[in-house]
């Protein structure tokens, strides 16, 4: 499994994450959360093609 990275802004809210990554991705990638080491599915896609997911445990956005 690939190591994930925090998405910027570092202290973004879930609402800001969903606004920045509005499209739900059909293909999901699993990454490791850099904080708690849990598996995070990258289920959202930004308009410029970046994938992102939300770590429920850390309450932060994760990407690659």
5-21 pLDDT, tens digit each: 999 876 678 999 999 99
Question: What gap in Å lies between CA 47 and CA 57, rounded to an integer?
Answer: 26
In a domain, 14, yes or no: yes
23-54 pLDDT, tens digit each: 998 888 999 999 999 999 999 999 999 999 99
In a domain, 37, yes or no: yes
Question: What gap in Å lies between CA 58 and CA 52, rounded to an integer?
Answer: 14
In a domain, 19, yes or no: yes
pLDDT at 11: 65
Domain span at 20: 2-57
What are 37's two structure tokens? 């080491």
In a domain, 64, yes or no: no
Residue 61, SS3 per DSSP: strand
18: phi then psi, degrees, rounded to nearest 5: -65, -30
Query: Considering its fold, how many domains does the chain have in total?
Result: 1
């Amino acid at each position: 499994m690939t190591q994930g990275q925090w998405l910027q802004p570092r202290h973004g809210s879930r609402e800001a994450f969903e606004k920045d990554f509005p499209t739900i991705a059909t293909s999901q990638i699993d990454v490791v959360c850099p904080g708690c080491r849990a598996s995070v599915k990258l289920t959202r896609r930004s308009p410029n093609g970046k994938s992102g997911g939300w770590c429920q445990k850390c309450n932060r956005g994760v990407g690659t």
